[in-house]
A and B are shown apart, each in its own frame.
Chain A
């Protein structure tokens, strides 16, 4: 991370993203932003607001509903020297572009012997709550992590959103940029000047000696809230946000787990063959004797009813309870009171999108 001297301001996640586009498009004429709805009056929750007026319709444009071809077109344009940012309003829709992303984007540099590069950013957001359901809520990062040649990033706050987006745009490789809808209104300190949050470097969010908790994407925020609940009962959790999932900073996680001896990985996705499995395997290969647990989506399709959805996701209460059991195996199970859990809940969004 290279944060500059200028005084930071509080920015919302979407404003931080927008500032990244604004600054990078001004800096580099080869950058363009496209995808369904990027140029409409809602401007992807404000994350592309003002770009059309400033940079014009050649560099900010909507597309037909043709994810497959539009991804291929972005890849070709990237090979020809441009730097496309392709926006998808849900991560689920990336499944329509898998052929292009996995068979072409990931492999182009390698299978054509280094003759071409694919400096492409693929933005997508994960939905949660208010009926997002089966096809608007999926965190599919582990599918992309599996494929050599793709970088995957899941910033969990406004600062990282800007720094990761600038790093992704400047990267000469395809970057799957995973946003979370519930993070969009959240604020954090963001430097006004351009800066990067570089690939392959995790952040230790809270210090603690009792256990290591890794939170991915939105779950980094939930894990920090869980750490606050745990603090009230004397358990010190070291929360780590990997930020970049590929390349993954397994060394920082392994070093923490070595010290605490206990590792809980909370993913914003399913656990089976997922990022949590990869992180625990990576730590196990490096450090002996770490007790590990993982949490993620329930092994079901995401339901829409709030009474069911409540049990689909890890939350600060369930994370804190799992962490307690891991950190205090000899003691009785504990869970924070429903009231304090509720207070730690993230503000859920309400509205059609």
Chain B
């Protein structure tokens, strides 16, 4: 596949650090998971990190991004606090949602990570609402919503596309098409599985599809779209073909589960962006980056394990603002 994107050494190192960090956080999460210390169902993004990393690299710190229950990658790529995320998975008082959201609802308002939602597609209009507020504010900020291919089957996807186009909202919709809604392949769910971009275009939202699994392709497409959106061009849609390496929910692979087979995953694993980018960096630098990532993750796990549980009275806090 063609991978000739202009990227400086510092770009490559920054992107590598981001994608490797997310991969390792999720691998460590999967390792801890059987211990039952993580009191929360985890939907890992292993294999799909390139989307969050590529898009968020093109964002400003004051932009807003949010996604579904599979949002560890979005959270970390947008600058969410790793300690707070790990503590949230442990159900601790220091978690980003104070132990009330868990893995499926992580958010970090301070860095523009809108809380993630566990009802498929609900994040789409929510981020459009942020976009409406950002448009009124007039400072050129944009909102990005990450969604899976399953979310494109919900009514509010179409409703939001229409209103966003009508109102020219500063909204980028990023579809991480991993081909499955839980265990159901897209061919069983859509009459035209390859028609997502055509749907968006028909409603009035410019769309493009990226199929080569290249982080820089995603980044460049996102950067171009975001530049147009900031200028008032209205919403755009980017579909990125990816592959989910692990099971829908939980820490394991599931190629023995009879709904998909390893041979389908192998090309994606062979073209893994973490390994590809690692090979582009000199060994000493890579070792330093990897070491820093491992230390940061170990510290986050320690933070989560040592943090206090929420006090019982916390149950009743924040029902109302």
Contact = CB atoms under 8 A, between A and B. Distances in A.
A80 B125 contact: no
A58 B133 CA distance: 11
Interface residues on B, range: 35 or more
Given A63-B163, A73-B163, A115-B109, A79 B321 contact: no
Interface string A67-92: 01111111111111110000000000
B130 A77 contact: yes
B9 interface: no
A72 B97 contact: no
A345 interface: no
A49 B29 CA distance: 56
A72 B318 contact: no
Given A112-B105, A116-B109, A69 B115 contact: no
B318 A110 contact: yes
Interface string A165-202: 00000001100000000000000000000000000000
A103 B119 contact: yes
A69 B203 CA distance: 15
Interface string B126-166: 11111111101000000100000000000110011011001
B259 interface: no
Interface centre among B119, B130, B320 (most CB of A within 10 A): B320
A111 interface: yes
Contacts of B124: 69, 72
Contacts of B318: 109-110, 113-114
Given A66-B163, A72-B126, A80 B134 contact: yes
Contacts of B64: 80
A119 B98 CA distance: 21
Contacts of B155: 68-69
A112 B99 CA distance: 9
B95 interface: yes
A66 B158 CA distance: 9
B101 interface: yes
Contacts, number: 142
B100 A69 contact: no
Nearest to A78: B129
B307 interface: no
A99 B130 contact: no
A77 B95 CA distance: 25
A104 B125 CA distance: 11
B114 interface: yes
A218 interface: no
A333 interface: no
A148 B100 CA distance: 14
Contact of B129 (A72, A111, A119, A151): A72
Interface string A54-68: 000010000110101
B100 A79 contact: no
Contacts of A76: 114, 125-133, 143
B107 interface: yes
A82 B130 CA distance: 9
Contact of A115 (B107, B132, B134, B319): B107
Interface string B70-107: 00000000000000000000000001111111000101
Interface string A113-157: 111111100000000000000000000000000001101000000
B178 interface: no
B117 interface: yes
Contact of B130 (A64, A70, A80, A109): A80
Contact of B133 (A66, A70, A81, A103): A81
A100 interface: yes
Nearest to A59: B136
B107 A72 contact: no
Contacts of B136: 58, 82
B7 interface: no
Contacts of A100: 122, 125, 156
Contact of B125 (A73, A78, A82): A73
A80 B99 CA distance: 23
Given A72-B125, A110-B319, A115-B107, A80 B163 contact: no
A257 interface: no
Contacts of A109: 318-321
29 contacts: A63-B163, A64-B159, A64-B163, A66-B163, A69-B124, A69-B125, A72-B124, A76-B128, A76-B133, A77-B129, A79-B114, A80-B130, A103-B117, A104-B126, A109-B321, A110-B318, A111-B97, A112-B115, A113-B96, A113-B100, A113-B101, A114-B98, A114-B318, A115-B97, A115-B109, A115-B115, A118-B321, A149-B320, A173-B320
Can you list the 10 inter-chain pairs with the closest CB atoms, starting with the nearest? Answer: A76-B129, A72-B125, A69-B159, A80-B133, A66-B159, A113-B97, A113-B98, A172-B321, A112-B115, A76-B126
Given A76-B126, A100-B122, 16 more contacts: A66-B159, A69-B162, A72-B128, A73-B128, A76-B114, A76-B130, A81-B133, A100-B156, A108-B115, A109-B318, A113-B97, A113-B318, A115-B115, A116-B115, A117-B321, A151-B320
Interface of B: 64, 95-101, 105, 107-109, 114-115, 117, 119, 122, 124-134, 136, 143, 155-156, 159-160, 162-163, 166, 317-321
